[in-house]
Amino acid sequence: MVNSTVIAQRIVEAILAQRLAPGARLGEQSLSLLFDCSRTQVREALMRLAARGIVTVSSRRGWFVVEPSHEEAREAFEARRVIEMGLIRQAGPMDKTALKRLRDHIQQEKKALKGADVGQRSYLLGDFHVCLAECLGNQLLADTLRDFTARTTLIAMLYQSTHDAHQSCEEHVAIVEALARGDAETAERLMQAHIGQVQAALRLGSHTDPLAHLRAALAPLKEASPSAQRATRNKTSPPPPETYLGALL
């Protein structure tokens, strides 16, 4: 049976698969119809996600997937560095079962890279980090990391990341192989470089100001020189059209 936990999980998975974009509206009525549940359960799921920084709510407009700012993007990547590098640093030797799970995950990544399902590829590349945390033995941090990975996925969509998926997979391979050799120092260094490269691939200057056009239209007019003002008075010109914004202010 669907409950608020399942609904929240499905929303996070959709973000990791890049099927829910930053700013996407999450209507309570639509979600309750989709999941065949009450709006109370939907609202509970959305409130949980709001507390985790995945969605936001407006009293008049409703629920929306977050649109992280530049500063929030920086903080999200810093948080991932602290968590993931710390996990690797403190972990002991990985057992064969954990290594097999990670290698199986990477095989799924490689298979997805050959396919046409971009969502599956995106989900697996992000979920690798959650899988790694689980294999390193810390489920609490794995859950936290899932939320941060969802946020950095939104950041990658919002700021048009140029990071290559094949490169990301190869970096995952190198990290796992270092852990398999028991070389935690190298694995930690590779993870730091991996997260840094993903962050560096963001086009942080590409997120345009949504009010840019209106801001330019309403900018104060430059005062003309006296000679230009006299020339303007002596020159007849047709009145501005009725739609001219200046005539309405």
Whole-angstrom distance, CA of residue 38 vs CA of residue 204: 39
pLDDT value of position 236:
53
pLDDT value of position 161:
81
Sequence-separated contacts (24+) of 76-80 with Cβ below 8 Å: 76/148, 76/151, 76/152, 76/155, 77/152, 77/155, 77/195, 77/198, 77/199, 79/148, 80/129, 80/145, 80/148, 80/149, 80/152, 80/195
pLDDT value of position 59:
84
pLDDT value of position 243:
36
pLDDT value of position 93:
87
pLDDT value of position 215:
63
pLDDT averaged over 10-residue windows placed end to end, the chain, 249 residues: 91 95 94 94 96 92 94 93 94 92 97 94 95 95 94 91 90 97 95 93 64 64 59 53 36
Domains of the chain: 4-65 (1.10.10.10), 70-200 (1.20.120.530)
Whether pTM > 0.85 for this model: the answer is: no
